[in-house]
Amino acid sequence: MSTVVDARPIGQDKMASDRARFIRRARNQIRDAVKKAFEKGDFKTLENGKITVPVRGMKEPSYKTAQGTGVTDHVATGNKDYVKGDSHQKPPQGSKGSEESSATNENEKGEDEFAFQLTRDEFHEFFFEDLELPDLVKKSIKTITQTTRERAGYVTSGPPSQLDIRHTWRYAFARHLALERPTDSDIEKEENETAAVLLKNRQDSIPLIDDIDLRYRNYPIRHKPVTQAVMFLVMDVSGSMNENRKGLAKRFFLLLNILLEKKYGKVSVVFIRHHTSAEEVNEQDFFYKQETGGTLVSPALEMVNQIIDERYASDWNVYISHASDGDNWHEDNNQVKTEILRLLPKIQYYSYLQVAQSTRNTLDVQVFDDLSRSYAKVQYAIALEPENVWHVFRELFSKDSL
């Protein structure tokens, strides 16, 4: 007896061990790609923690005959143009030294190089391996389910307010055509009076709009988790923030971004940089544009406040990450505190990272120390070396601190 088996639930992901061996083999190349992605700090390519790794040198060599070498007779199909004894010019690249050209092309293009995507888990493994770090601690940021109504096609019943005239009329018109309902102009044009009356009667017996013509716009209810999250990255770009310090900030921002994307899927990012005044910029300018001058922190926070009110009110999860070398005018500190207090009801979390040892002890640690004692949403840390960033990050985002 023959059998039919549903094998779909069986042996899912059979390739896992082969995939693991491949990744083990391509380790160095993947590590390079991950490192580059991290150093570039390009948020877009890191979206969903997935990156594409170009793989070279994973060739499986074997003995093959080079095409077009030697003397061979081939049988081909569909001849409509040639008779015995005809000849046909070969395409130019295949004329001389064809072995070399075909062979090298094969090396460059063919199986030798291809790109593939790391899964999020694999990516994190490499990502944190590079930092010599243990696995990312799993922790839950609260997610809420929201019901919304979404536009989805047309239905035959619904509230009058959602009646779609155009669609209804389209069906009515089709029905008129099918039943040959006379139009007003047909009746007017009819010269024979009895015929006109008959036409009028026929018109009356076929309604202009029938119940079956009615079409309403459809808005079914959808339950969906709130996936909207926005991350404000605030960075001091005054003269004292050198590349090294910016690098620390960048690493920190990147980690936060990955963590948020893990939780929320997609995260909007707002880049705000400041010296004595604040401005919203794109990613490129945020990380790479040089600035000089002194520092005032409060304008930046004021701007965050303003942007939240304008664009991210109510149903957004707002995260603010702030990096600075701790420079600030002493007079500004109270202003900073006030701004943060204004922010607090609207946001999920405020993390402050200081990337330099406080010398004049101006902004900073003092302000945030006070705040973090009273509000769990505010956390701060100091990181001076790249290796510290992860530890600091972990500290900030460990279960206890949230």
Query: Which chain residues interact with another protein by CB under 8 A?
Result: 1-8, 11-12, 14-15, 17-25, 55, 58-66, 68-80, 82-90, 95, 98-100, 102-104, 106-107, 111, 114-117
Q: Min. distance of Cβ 56 from another protein in angstroms?
A: 12
Q: From CA 170, how far away is CA 161, in angstroms rounded? A: 18
CA 338, CA 297: separation in Å to the nearest integer?
Answer: 12
| Choice between 85 and 153, CB closer to another protein | 85
CA distance 47 to 51: 8
Residue 321 pairs in a beta bridge with: 233, 351
> Closest distance between another protein and the C-beta of residue 107, in Å?
7
The two structure tokens encoding residue 253: 């921002």
Residue 14 or 399 having the CB closest to another protein = 14
Nearer to another protein, 22 or 169 (CB): 22
- C-beta of 63 vs 205, nearer to another protein: 63
d(CA 148, CA 228): 14
What is the torsional sign of CA 296, 299, 302, 307? Answer: negative
Q: Give the tokens for residue 67.
A: 């095409």
CB of 266 to another protein, least distance (A): 20
Structure tokens at 388: 């510290």
Q: Write down the least CB distance from residue 129 to another protein, Å.
A: 18
- The nearest distance, CB 98 to another protein, in angstroms, is 7
CB nearer another protein, residue 14 or residue 142: 14
Shortest CB 214 distance to another protein, Å:
31
Q: How far is the CB of 364 from another protein (least distance, A)?
A: 48
What is the nearest approach in angstroms of another protein to the Cβ of residue 331?
A: 58
Q: List the structure tokens of 291.
A: 């600035």
Residue whose CB is less far from another protein, 92 or 159: 92
Between CA 293 and CA 286, with CA 274 as vertex, the angle to 5 degrees is 110
Could you give the CA distance from residue 51 to residue 45 in angstroms, rounded to a whole number? 6
Looking at the Cβ atoms of 6 and 132, the one nearer to another protein is 6
* Rounded alpha-carbon distances, angstroms, from residue 199 to 172, 174, 207: 19, 19, 13
- The number of C-alpha atoms within 13 Å of 322 and in the hemisphere containing its C-beta is 24
Shortest Cβ distance from residue 130 to another protein (Å)? 21
Helix axes 120-130, 27-40, angle to 10 degrees: 80
Q: Which is nearer to another protein, 83 or 221 (CB)?
A: 83
Nearer to another protein (CB atom), residue 102 or residue 348: 102
Shortest reach from residue 4's CB to another protein, in Å: 5
| C-alpha dihedral sign at 20, 25, 30, 32 | positive
* Residue 270 near residue 307, CB atoms below 8 Å: yes
Token pair 């007003």 is found at 184
Which lies closer to another protein via its Cβ, residue 89 or residue 314? 89
Number of other residues whose CB lies within 10 A of the CB of residue 17: 9
What's the sign of the alpha-carbon dihedral 53, 54, 58, 59?
positive
- 53 neighbors 28 (Cβ within 8 angstroms): no
Q: For residues 118 and 214, which CB has a smaller minimum distance to another protein in the complex?
A: 118
Which alpha helices (DSSP H) does 265-385 contain, by range?
Answer: 283-288, 298-311, 332-343, 365-374
Query: Smallest gap, in angstroms, from Cβ of residue 319 to another protein?
Result: 32
Residue 229 belongs to what H/E stretch? Answer: strand 229-236
